[in-house]
């Protein structure tokens, strides 16, 4: 592939002349629409040929086979409208959602902000999504197409579904809300994620308290088993703002309930460690912060979880991943899979391709070094 085509320099030029001037949410919709159009005219096939992860990146985790250990974190495709076009960029998996039982508009705009100096984002989207039943229908169609892709040997992503609580549902009725989503979405998910860590739904993060989390996870596990004939892996997604003891408590609960793993982490409510002026940061208002500033805490939690969890429990590491080196480091620290979101906005559509190619290079280098040492 010509290097200019996937060049980060080219995207940076497009970013600073076009996207940076656009409202971030409008830019997001433009990118999704562009990907959908590319798919509609068949350009996704060409893309796929250029970006398909090398076979050596194939990863076994959670009882599934993943084309690459690297995937797209929840929040980019909340409604499952662009799963295949996104996968055509080289993601090994796409996590759809957060989906709630009932459709909802989310918070008032503006609700997504860039902190360019930090390559970070602040969002208070508030789970804007079409609701479980609409997303289920969409994913049924997507799954049929994925089955056909797999049968013809083409790149076929793993599709996770991340579920959360509808805003108007009171916290003490949260379980039933999650169960509506589980019934609808477990049958179309390769793995299911209970999101209790978004800062943008009032009270949601209280569900991370063990007394609230235990009955919720038990009920979702039971419902997922009743709704599907095959075991659907169930993971819980946690916040980077949890204290270490609380991280341990969630790990112990996951072990006790025999759940499949943990996704760490969601966005943070902290504003520490940013280069952007405090004044500018404050002007954006409330919301979850994501990007490189999250990497330190995300890695600390990963290491802590890996020490605490049995090997049978998977960890998906997310938060501040930018480069192939970052992905390799997370894998070395014990992650089974890795995700990213914010860097996708800053690095552009060929970011994933660069990550996959970089991973192949890093692994070759490691093997060569090992071989030299042995020799």
Ligand X SMILES: Cc1cc2nc3c(=O)[nH]c(=O)nc-3n(C[C@H](O)[C@H](O)[C@H](O)COP(=O)(O)O)c2cc1C
Interacting residues with ligand X (CB under 6 A): 73-75, 78, 97-98, 112, 121, 123, 125, 127, 162, 195, 198, 237, 266-267, 290-291, 294, 318-321, 340-343
Q: How far apart are CA 62 and CA 234, in angstroms?
A: 9
- Nearer of residues 44 and 254 to ligand X, judged by Cβ: 254
**Are 266 and 237 contacting, i.e. CB atoms less than 8 angstroms apart?**
yes
How many CA atoms within 13 Å lie on the side-chain side of 21?
A: 5
Kindly state the smallest distance separating residue 298's Cβ from ligand X, in Å: 7
371 is in an annotated binding site: no
128 is in an annotated binding site: no
Kindly state the smallest distance separating residue 293's Cβ from ligand X, in Å: 8
291 is in an annotated binding site: yes
Kindly state the smallest distance separating residue 25's Cβ from ligand X, in Å: 8
Kindly state the smallest distance separating residue 244's Cβ from ligand X, in Å: 19
Kindly state the smallest distance separating residue 177's Cβ from ligand X, in Å: 15
**Are 236 and 161 contacting, i.e. CB atoms less than 8 angstroms apart?**
no
77 is in an annotated binding site: yes
- Nearer of residues 123 and 175 to ligand X, judged by Cβ: 123
- Nearer of residues 261 and 291 to ligand X, judged by Cβ: 291
- Nearer of residues 43 and 334 to ligand X, judged by Cβ: 334
75 is in an annotated binding site: yes
Is 198 an active-site residue? Answer: yes
- Residues 6+ positions from 311 with CB-CB distance below 8 Å: none
- Nearer of residues 221 and 299 to ligand X, judged by Cβ: 299
- The closest residue (CB) to ligand X is 75
Give me the catalytic one of 68, 181, 197, 198.
198
265 is in an annotated binding site: yes
**Residues contributing to the annotated binding site:** 74-78, 98, 123-127, 162, 195, 200, 237, 265-267, 291, 320, 341-342
State the catalytic residues: 198
Known binding-site positions for substrate: 78, 123-127, 195, 200, 266-267
Residues annotated within a binding site for FMN? 74-78, 98, 162, 195, 237, 265, 291, 320, 341-342
């Amino acid at each position: 592939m010509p290097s200019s085509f996937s060049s980060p320099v080219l995207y940076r030029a497009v970013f600073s002349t076009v996207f940076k001037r656009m409202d971030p949410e409008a830019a997001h919709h433009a990118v999704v629409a562009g990907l959908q159009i590319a798919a509609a005219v068949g350009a996704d096939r060409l893309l796929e040929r250029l970006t398909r992860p090398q076979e050596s990146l194939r990863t076994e985790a959670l009882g599934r086979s993943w084309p690459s250990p690297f995937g797209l974190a929840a929040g980019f495709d909340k409604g499952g409208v662009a799963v295949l076009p996104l996968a055509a960029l080289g993601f090994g998996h796409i996590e759809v959602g957060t989906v709630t039982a009932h459709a909802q508009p989310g918070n008032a705009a503006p609700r997504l902000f860039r902190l360019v100096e930090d390559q970070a984002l602040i969002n208070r989207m508030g789970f804007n999504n079409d609701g479980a039943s609409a997303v289920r229908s969409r994913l049924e169609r997507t799954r049929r197409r994925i089955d056909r892709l797999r049968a013809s040997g083409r790149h076929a992503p793993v599709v996770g579904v991340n579920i959360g609580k509808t805003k108007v549902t009171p916290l003490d009725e949260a379980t039933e809300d999650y169960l509506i989503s589980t019934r609808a979405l477990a049958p179309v998910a390769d793995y299911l994620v209970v999101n209790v860590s978004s800062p943008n739904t009032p009270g949601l993060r209280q569900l991370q308290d063990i007394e609230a989390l235990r009955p919720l996870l038990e009920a979702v596990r039971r419902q997922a088993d009743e709704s599907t004939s095959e075991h659907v892996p169930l993971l819980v997604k946690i916040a980077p703002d949890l204290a270490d003891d609380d991280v341990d408590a969630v790990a112990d609960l996951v072990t006790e309930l025999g759940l499949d793993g943990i996704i760490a982490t969601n966005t943070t409510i902290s504003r520490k460690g940013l280069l952007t002026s405090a004044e500018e940061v404050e002007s954006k208002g409330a919301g979850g912060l994501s990007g490189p500033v999250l990497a330190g805490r995300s890695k600390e939690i990963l290491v802590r979880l890996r020490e605490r969890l049995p090997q049978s429990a998977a960890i998906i590491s997310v938060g501040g991943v930018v480069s192939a080196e970052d992905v390799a480091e997370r894998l070395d620290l014990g992650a089974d899979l890795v995700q990213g979101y914010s860097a996708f906005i800053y690095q552009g559509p060929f970011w994933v391709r660069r990550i996959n190619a970089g991973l192949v290079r890093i692994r070759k280098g490691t093997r060569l070094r090992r071989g030299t040492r042995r020799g």
